[in-house]
Structure 1
Amino acid sequence: MKYKYTVEDNVLVMNFSGDLIGENNGPEILEIANDQIEKGQVLCAIDISDVRYINSSGIGVLITILTKFRNKDGEVVLINPSDHVKKLLIITKLNAIFNIVDSKEDAIEELNSLK
């Protein structure tokens, strides 16, 4: 899996592509989230539109990120999951826990409206 991140309009935007398999990149991704939270960042958008597959460890990474931000009175939104990933989110009922939006612009607008 490949990932990158930026901060735009006070929102941490993380882009994931490939297969989200938590044991491979999970610790690095969580370290980025921790570093940003320590810097006072409490809003996060995760673009998973290019993620083809997520295993249980990958789901664990997403839930851990969500928990870390919500523990700091923040929020996380997921951007444009593929049909396969969307089905997985529905099966696991995570679609009820995560806010899901269609674009990065929608994510930034929604997150900044929470402040």
Structure 2
Amino acid sequence: MKTDSAVQDGILFVRLSGDLIGSPDTQQLLQSVDQHLGEDLLHCAVDLSGIRYINSTGIGVLVSLLTKFRSRGGELVLINPADHPRKMLALTKLNAIFSVADDESAAAQLLKTAN
């Protein structure tokens, strides 16, 4: 899995590609987000459009990220999940927990209105 992150307008944008499964990559992702949380960021948008496959560990990582932001009074939005991640979110009924946006602009709008 490849990870790219950038902070824009107080929002952490994380772009993921490849497979979101239990590997050292997921630990690096969580550590990277933790470092950004030290910058007092409250909002995060995770782009899942490049994720081909996600398993239960990957779902757990997304839930962990959501919990990190919500416990600080913030919010996390998923951007354009590809077909398999979208199906997994529906299967686990987590599509009712996560907010989903079509693109970065829509995610930023959702996050600005979250508080």
Please give the range of the TM-score, normalised by the shorter of the 2 chains.
Answer: over 0.9
Compute the displacement of 1:22 (Å): 2.8
Q: Does residue 1:94 correspond to 2:87, yes or no?
A: no
**Identical-residue share of aligned pairs (%):** 45
- SS of alignment partner, residue 88 of structure 1: helix
The residue aligned with 1:73 is 73
Compute the displacement of 1:25 (Å): 1.1
Higher helix share: 1
For normalisation by structure 1, the TM-score amounts to: 0.95
- SS of alignment partner, residue 73 of structure 2: coil
The residue aligned with 1:31 is 31
Indicate if the aligned counterparts of 1:22 and 1:60 stay in contact, CA closer than 8 A.
Answer: no
The residue aligned with 1:41 is 41
Q: Deviations over 1:10-57 (max 9, x none)?
A: 100000001011333111111111111111001000000010000111
For normalisation by structure 2, the TM-score amounts to: 0.95
Q: Deviations over 1:75-114 (max 9, x none)?
A: 0000001122111110001101100110011001110122
> How many residues end up aligned between the 2 structures?
115
Indicate if the aligned counterparts of 2:10 and 2:41 stay in contact, CA closer than 8 A.
Answer: yes
Indicate if the aligned counterparts of 1:78 and 1:101 stay in contact, CA closer than 8 A.
Answer: yes
Unaligned runs of 5+ in 2: none
Root-mean-square deviation (CA, aligned residues, Å) is 0.9
Indicate if the aligned counterparts of 1:23 and 1:58 stay in contact, CA closer than 8 A.
Answer: no
One-letter amino acid matched to 2:106: D
The residue aligned with 2:7 is 7
